Amino acid sequence: MSERWSWSFTGADGGEVTGPPTTTAAFPSQSDAESWLGETWRELATAGVASVTLWHDQQVVYGPMSLEP
């Protein structure tokens, strides 16, 4: 069974944010997903993402987590 780690992105209005720089790509591990977020959170915030949620397959691991400093 393959594991799939991914993020969902929410704007300040509570709606889903899509398009660059958000990604629907799956990550092979939680560490990879969190590293990606650590590298791109500022760009995401600039694009209107207010919070993120980490998913493992179809279950929430944690979140929503604010991107505000």
| pLDDT for position 14 | 96
Among 63, 59, 61, 57, residue whose Cα is nearest residue 4: 57
Q: Can you give the pLDDT of all 69 residues of the chain as single tens digits?
A: 467 999 999 999 999 999 888 877 889 999 999 999 999 999 999 999 999 999 999 999 999 999 987
pLDDT computed for residue 2 by the predictor = 60
Backbone angles phi, psi at 65, to 5 degrees: -120, 125
What's the pTM? Answer: 0.90
